[in-house]
Structure 1
Amino acid sequence: MSKKIQLLTTFFCLTVFLGFTQTQTDSITFIPQTQLNAAQRILSGNYGSAVTVSAYAEMLYNQPEGDNGELDVQRMVLLFGYRFNDKTQFVTEVELEHVNEVFIEQAFVNYNVGNNISLRGGLMLVPMGIVNEFHEPTTFNGTERPATDNVIVPTTWRELGIGATGRFNEISLGYQVYVFNGFKSTEADGAGGISGFLKGSNGLRSGRQKGIQSTVNSPTFSTKLDYYGIPGLRVGLSGYFGKTQAADEIEDIEGANIGISMIGLDARYAYQRFTARGQFIHASLSDTDKYNALTGKDLGSALQGYYVEAAYNLLPLTKKQRLFAFTRFEKFNTHADTDGALIANKAYERTDVTTGLNYHIAPGVVVKADYQFRSNASDVDTKDMLNFGIGVWF
């Protein structure tokens, strides 16, 4: 029996097991208009105390076709909140990745000015797409986050900044407006040359500064609008605009920085046992030809990705549990366009089809299983992937 058949057989067996196992319900809402992420739950005062503690975690098994599988505690995230008074709160998020890496994912002060506005400052999530803000394991289908939210939107994307957020419930509109430091593009390599952080295979991802002694010269602007006036539907429009950052000694060298204009459109919908979501992200990058000439990298001048997903709860609405069967189709390309002499690498034009089950077995606990059919536009073979996972959030 081939390894691919073995993988599919294992996946089918787990599907049958999940379909006949039932326990208690998951408490996380599936209504897009009222969905909160971990930080928002703390800020909303749901816990009713000055000091609040929350956490989420993911334990995964990934097996590429023909290869050995890998078991990993992919992330364990601890959230702490403190309410100084009715207007002022602090939220921080400490992430342990793969057991041996520690990061601060968020750390910001929120000051509630009035009914429609709160001011924020610190290390915060950039509001682009869905998963960058809503990445707790019980809030999305699939063992792994969508690839578009890894390669095009470099989740988890967070930077230091200040801004404002709020809602106008009379017109069903939420907003976020921030000024952040930007991606780091270049630095001196110590040998008389210049190293570049941005590249064709993963676009902007390696340029995230994550609040680690971040270089800032030209602040960037980020905004998002969320409309929730139609029952069951939530639509978001995001924008991110500015330039990258370079170290002082090379800031004025031609090609040390590039310009970034990124827009995103996303939607989530839920009706009874059916849910759907979709997302489109496009980033236009300027001066990439000069950047590539300076650093020897292969950064494209445009990044683009989208996905559409549908899911159906296989259990009756009278049951407190949820068993979602889902399929997600996504295409993403970090060489959607190139400048100068750079020829687009077809291996960077990728397609993933993911299908599987999410079984919410108890409040804040989900068991996941899926199979990913992966391909690209080149002649280079990519390996399909079998994934299992357990996610918790409390």
Structure 2
Amino acid sequence: MKKGLLFVVAIAAFFAAKAQDAQESKSIGTTILDRVKDEKLSIGGYGEVHYNQQISGNTRYNGNMDVHRMVLFFGYQFNDKTSFVTEIEYEHIKELYVEQAFLNYNIRPNTSLRAGLMLVPMGIVNEYHEPTTFNGVERPSVDNRIVPTTWREIGVGLSGRMPSFPLKYQLYVMNGFIGYNGTGVLRGSDGFRKGRQKGAESTFTSPSLSAKLDYYGVKGLNIGLAGYFGKTQSSAFNGLDKNDDFAEEVADSTRVGISMFGMDVRYKVNALQLKGQYIHSFISDVAAYNDKTGKDLGKQMQGYYLEAGYNLLDGKEQALVPFVRYENYNTHHKTAGNMVANKAYDREEVFFGLSYHLAKGAVVKADYQMSKDGNDEKKNFVNFGVGVWF
């Protein structure tokens, strides 16, 4: 795992050193706010339909077919400084969510104040998760288990670009994960994933800080550094007597502190596409939390992936991209107290696949997935999907 991290850092250092000889280029990737142009009303969306089939020796498994998600985008430009964007998401036909809903105000050129339900800027896919922007039928597992995608919370903050340096920044004060709502929420198998509040009648105990810097001074290259710091939210503080120190101590045992750090690198030159990402979370007060809730949350979680793709139709309207991706992630990288790390939570995956972009905004995907955990339990999958973004 350390070798993978050093490889990502080496890529970043190598290309960053070339910045002084390169012309400034635009940051790789666009957000939905970039699509709100001069029109008063902007409408768009993206969607994915998947087929997943586990295959393993002589054991037979049914496949799973799913309209995984359909997301509708709406943006409104009130004037040259003020706009509103939102995404309404349907998952698996029956689940309805608001993925984003925030007001954006340009307080000066290249600097915006935002408030509402926003994506936490951590990693690559949490911000750029439309199906035409990543290889593979499913989103990378590191982004699902460690980040976890799609992670959004209500908050307020600044977003912008430096006027004379190729640097994009985001800084938000936000609500955080729910760790306790009468019972413990966070657990070892998927870390923080079930703690996402998604802006739905969210419990707020204390704020969290989220920040990210993206460097794009080399043509085709984007290097991102992100951090997230705060404590989880807990319903145990609701109605608590401020003078009752014992009750305060008991309630505090239902919370954990989170320090999450991330680095990502994206590089595209002609037909070659390279990506790398590393996420590491440090979690405090875990032993008390697990004792109180009966959960098995780890003290540290980490994960990374490295990916390479090559567009065989470079320069043409269509794109045909074979790719390979290696992922390694562990939600029990370290445990607290006497808890023994669960080897099943130490996972390794290799993907071989193909993305065929029929047109800009329309893609057909296929990949073969090989998974293995610390107990040497192996699972293989064949995945197919179609995706659109308009």
The residue aligned with 1:244 is 232
Give the unaligned 5+ runs of structure 1.
1-30, 189-194
Match of 1:97 among 80, 91, 94: 91
Match of 1:61 among 51, 59, 63: 51
Q: 1:75-154 alignment to 2 at 5 Å?
A: 75-154=69-148
Q: 1:1-394 alignment to 2 at 5 Å?
A: 33-37=27-31, 39-43=32-36, 45=37, 48-65=38-55, 66-188=60-182, 195-247=183-235, 248-249=238-239, 252=248, 253=250, 254-315=252-313, 317-379=314-376, 381-394=377-390
Q: Residues 152 and 204 of structure 1 are in contact (CA less than 8 Å); yes or no, is this contact kept in structure 2?
A: yes
- Separation (CA, whole Å) in 1 of partners of 2:239 and 2:374: 40
What TM-score does the superposition give when structure 1 sets the normalisation length?
A: 0.87
User: SS in structure 1 opposite 2:297?
Assistant: coil
User: SS in structure 2 opposite 1:342?
Assistant: coil
Report Cα offsets for 1:277-308 as digits up to 9, x if no partner: 00000000000000000000000000100000
Report Cα offsets for 1:86-111 as digits up to 9, x if no partner: 10000010000001110000000000
Question: What amino acid is aligned across from residue 185 of structure 1 in structure 2?
Answer: G
- Separation (CA, whole Å) in 2 of partners of 1:328 and 1:74: 22
Report Cα offsets for 1:307-343 as digits up to 9, x if no partner: 000000122x342211000000010000000010111
User: SS in structure 2 opposite 1:121?
Assistant: strand
Q: How far off is 1:206 after superposition?
A: 0.6
Give the unaligned 5+ runs of structure 2.
1-24, 241-246
Report Cα offsets for 1:100-153 as digits up to 9, x if no partner: 110000000000111131000000000000000000000000000000000000
Question: What amino acid is aligned across from residue 371 of structure 2 in structure 1?
Answer: R
Report Cα offsets for 1:146-170 as digits up to 9, x if no partner: 0000000010000000000000142
Which 4+ stretches in 1 moved above 3 angstroms?
A: none
- Separation (CA, whole Å) in 2 of partners of 1:303 and 1:330: 14
User: SS in structure 2 opposite 1:138?
Assistant: helix
Using a 3 Å threshold, how does the CA distance of structure 1 residues 334 and 185 change in structure 2: closer, same or farther? same
- Separation (CA, whole Å) in 2 of partners of 1:323 and 1:285: 41
- Separation (CA, whole Å) in 2 of partners of 1:237 and 1:182: 20
Identity of aligned residues (%): 54
Q: How far off is 1:382 after superposition?
A: 3.4
User: SS in structure 1 opposite 2:157?
Assistant: strand
User: SS in structure 2 opposite 1:340?
Assistant: coil
Query: How many residues align structurally?
Result: 352
- Separation (CA, whole Å) in 2 of partners of 1:278 and 1:126: 19
Q: Residues 52 and 80 of structure 1 are in contact (CA less than 8 Å); yes or no, is this contact kept in structure 2?
A: yes
